[in-house]
Amino acid sequence: MALFMNDVSRTFSEYLLIPDLTTKDCIPTNVNLQAPVVKFKKGEKSAVELNIPFVSAIMQSVSDHNLAIALARNGGLSFIFGSQAIDSQVDMVKRVKKYKSGFVISDSNLTPENTLEDVVRLKNQTGHSTIGITENGTSNSKLLGIVTSRDYRTDKDSLDKKIKDFMTPFASLITGKLGITLNEANDIIWDHKLNCLPIIDENQRLQYFVFRKDYDDHKENPYEVSDSNKKLLVGAGINTRDYKERIPALVEAGADVLCIDSSDGFSEWQMETIKYVRETYGDKVKIGAGNVVDKDGFLYLVEAGADFIKVGIGGGSICITREQKGIGRGQASAIVEVAKARDDYFNETGIYIPICSDGGIVQDYHMVLALAMGADFLMMGRYFARFDESPTRKLKIGNNYVKEYWGEGSNRARNWQRYDMGGSDSLKFEEGVDSYVPYAGKMKDNLDLTIGKIKSTMCSCGSLNLPDLRQRAKITLVSSTSIIEGGAHDVILKDTVN
């Protein structure tokens, strides 16, 4: 006979947080939202940490390089979608890693014998206005000068003019020596009022550029997450079919963490994928797995060697897995059970396995509930799909602007690997829909508002960080009438009066 679980499958909308003592130091500016992404031992730190507990979903309509750059600059992490050719996914990862790194490898270079026409063409191709002029036109040969937009005028100068006749020659450049710190390089830039500083080795070979604008950008984005080389963090989604080809390419491109993208993670295919990573790279390559909704699924993937576990089946706004297959669980119930399993495992082994809540977020306060119930960080699709930085089209329908948003299980995405159950390479039936979401503008403006709400709520709960919130939070079930009571009621709203 089937096992019947008598506990009700519950969603975040069925709960509210009860306030705790708000002390005088419980103010939003004191709240720390740092969150671990990958497993770590007791007393140690996670090798990958976020400054805000948000990651973007592994979806064609959400996570490309543009959104990944914007989210990393604001403290979160994107997982570049894997339902594309390996080469194109690798290119997106490289674009993120090259975007800002403090020490930037020059990928726009020419020789003194090239012409102004070559400069214009290269600038149009790359968007870079600073071009390294080297002995053989590569990024690590002898530096002979640089060209910026201040060195020429296309309306006055002939396009066949040689670069050597208008570049800023090496003798006139201020340079930094390989080995100096980023702080030292920025000091040189400021002391000499430079826009960029070439970094050269003892043989005058170009190694890097350091740009003034990167310093300014960092000051404007204090929560930016980066690696040890000051390059933005970025994740990448993979599947359980072509992982032996995809993973090495993504690792070579610089992906900081991988995640198996699947609607059902409690499978031997995921175990085999993780085993390949451990046998090939040891613990050097970080990989998350999922999705699961109970203790058994969590422990299976932990024992397989996963660095974090993704929780949630059927709770996404575009997901119809529950409707199609009758598979899934209310997101709140899933998080509560898996979080308890995570804590028990930590107490037994001293190893902490972060869990990611994927789906079920409708209101901003649901984010705090998910974190209070035990999630370390949240994966969201609809939330990020609304912004300028997402890869989909902005359309006007009626009097409203919207952005396209479709699920990986829809016919439009045709990501059969995510729903693979063996057999032929095809999408048997849809588990996602093709839809629109209301357009919301720039990411940063919306993130600032959401983060402000989260910090304010945490202060009302008497908590200044996420581990403390999980320990102190008091959560209550609410009735259907209590939910109605929580909104505006028994009044006539002004915007409804003609």
On the question of a cis peptide bond just before residue 6, with omega within 30 degrees of 0, the verdict is: no
Q: Which of 105, 176, 170 is nearest to 143 (CA)?
A: 170
Paired sense of beta strands 355-358 and 377-380, if any:
parallel
Q: How long is the chain?
A: 498
The pLDDT value given to residue 182:
81
176 conformational bin, left if phi > 0, alpha if psi -120 to 50, beta if neither: beta
The pLDDT value given to residue 222:
85
**Tokens 């202060």 sit on residue:** 459
Q: Is 223 exposed, middle or buried (0-12, 13-18, 19+ CB in 10 A)?
A: middle
| DSSP secondary structure code for residue 19 in this structure | P
Q: Write down the catalytic residue from 95, 246, 329, 418.
A: 418
Query: 123 to each of 119, 130, 156, 339, 418, how far by Cα in Å?
Result: 6, 8, 18, 51, 39
CA 285 vs. chain centroid, Å, equals 17
**Tokens 């499958």 sit on residue:** 9
Q: Are 104 and 210 in contact (CB under 8 A)?
A: yes
**What crossing angle do the helices spanning 364-373 and 443-460 adopt, rounded to 10°?**
50
3-state helix, strand and coil shares in percent for the chain, rounded to the nearest 5: 35, 20, 45
278 is catalytic: no
Look at the alpha carbons of 54, 60, 64, 70 in this order and tell me if their dihedral is positive or negative: negative
342 is catalytic: no
Q: Report the C-alpha gap between 22 and 430 in whole angstroms.
A: 48
The pLDDT value given to residue 326:
73
Query: For 449-476, b where at least 16 C-beta lie within 10 A, e where not — what string?
Result: eebeebbebbbbbbbbebeebbeebeee
Within 13 A of 326's CA, how many CA atoms are on the CB side? 0
Query: 302 to each of 60, 298, 346, 373, how far by Cα in Å?
Result: 28, 6, 11, 20
Helix (H) or strand (E) holding 273: helix 268-281
| DSSP secondary structure code for residue 105 in this structure | P
The pLDDT value given to residue 416:
46
**Tokens 């009860």 sit on residue:** 18
Q: Write down the catalytic residue from 26, 319, 459, 461.
A: 319
pTM of the predicted model as reported, rounded to 2 decimal places: 0.79
CA 481 vs. chain centroid, Å, equals 38
Q: Which of 116, 107, 168, 166 is nearest to 139 (CA)?
A: 107
Q: Are 57 and 432 in contact (CB under 8 A)?
A: no
Q: Are 289 and 238 in contact (CB under 8 A)?
A: no
The predicted-structure confidence for 187-223, as pLDDT tens digits, reads as follows 999 999 999 999 999 999 999 899 887 776 666 788 9
The pLDDT value given to residue 317:
66
Q: Are 51 and 33 in contact (CB under 8 A)?
A: yes
Q: Is 190 exposed, middle or buried (0-12, 13-18, 19+ CB in 10 A)?
A: exposed
Q: What 3-state class would DSSP assign to 360?
A: coil
The pLDDT value given to residue 4:
82
Per-residue pLDDT in tens (0 to 9) along the chain, 498 residues = 788 887 888 999 999 999 999 999 999 999 999 999 999 999 999 999 999 999 999 999 999 999 999 999 999 999 999 999 999 999 999 999 987 657 887 878 999 999 999 999 998 887 788 999 999 999 889 999 999 989 999 888 899 999 999 999 999 999 999 988 888 998 999 999 999 999 999 999 999 899 887 776 666 788 999 998 888 999 999 999 999 999 999 999 999 999 999 988 999 999 999 999 999 999 999 999 999 999 999 999 999 999 999 999 977 766 666 667 778 899 999 999 999 999 999 999 999 999 999 999 999 999 999 999 999 999 999 999 999 999 998 999 999 999 999 877 666 655 545 555 555 555 555 566 678 999 999 999 999 999 999 999 999 999 999 999 999 999 999 987 777 777 776 777 777 665
